[in-house]
Amino acid sequence: MTRIDAKFAALKAEGKKAFVAYIMAGDPDLETSLELMKGMPGAGVDVIELGLPFTDPMADGPTIQAAGQRALDGGQTLQKTLDMARAFRETDTTTPIVLMGYYNPIYNRGVDRFLQDAREAGIDGLIVVDLPPEEDAELCIPARAAGLNFIRLATPTTDDKRLPRVLQNTSGFVYYVSVTGITGGQAAQAGEVGPEVARIKAATDLPVIVGFGITTPDAARTIASVADGCVVGSAIVKLVGEGRPVPEILTQIAALAAGAHSA
């Protein structure tokens, strides 16, 4: 059982919904992002999504694209991102970390070496948005063999014919993208999301977490109420980009987490 599995089992036992929060590693610099990461569990974050900056983030909107560019400009690398996770693990051995990004940096390091390094750094799961199920042998299956969850995205265009393929080797949880398009776009609507979550849950025992288009505590509560939890990314990254101090960002994160937990 991974930390992700354990966290969702504990939340289920408590009758609580999960709050998942995304930050970009190295944004605006390594020290600030690590300080923010270390403060997230105390603000109510159940699972941390740690963004791996990449030069061509095709699934991300302007807010997260800009964050990735700030991180790259500051010298953030895959190694520094793993080092960041390792530093976090010095004081927190229970909060799950999901590394979210694109395949190119992983491929460049070599899959076997990357998986070993990721495990040793304390990474629990991977979301690699540009590897479809047809490429599972590339990373997904080796990751699971190495003890890492491989989390797959389902979208409004994932129909009943496609869904079993998407779910086939997925573990940890299913990330349902509530709106078509890129991150930071239109607001998620519970009336549209609810039936889709129910359709996915009918096909898997995994928790279904909803992301994209969630920017306020009310939205977090509303969306979490029709799923097993929610993800907030761009709304947090926007605060970082505005240069807000870490305590202020953590206060905003705590309000979002409280919204999700009240669902």
Catalytic annotation, pick one of 5, 46, 49, 136: 49
Give the single-character DSSP code of 188.
Answer: P
Helix (H, G, I), strand (E, B) or coil at 45: coil
CA pair distance 107, 15, nearest whole angstrom = 39
Cα distances from 150 to residues 57, 115, 123, 131, 261, in angstroms, run: 19, 12, 11, 11, 25
Residue type, 42: G
Active site residue 60: yes
Contact 148, 126 (CB under 8 A): yes
Active site residue 134: no
Per DSSP, what are the bridge partners of residue 97?
48
Catalytic annotation, pick one of 27, 60, 196, 228: 60
Report H helices in 54-158. 62-73, 78-89, 103-109, 111-121, 140-145
Contact 223, 178 (CB under 8 A): yes
CA pair distance 221, 136, nearest whole angstrom = 34
Give the single-character DSSP code of 182.
Answer: S
CA pair distance 242, 224, nearest whole angstrom = 27
Question: Catalytic residues, which ones?
Answer: 49, 60
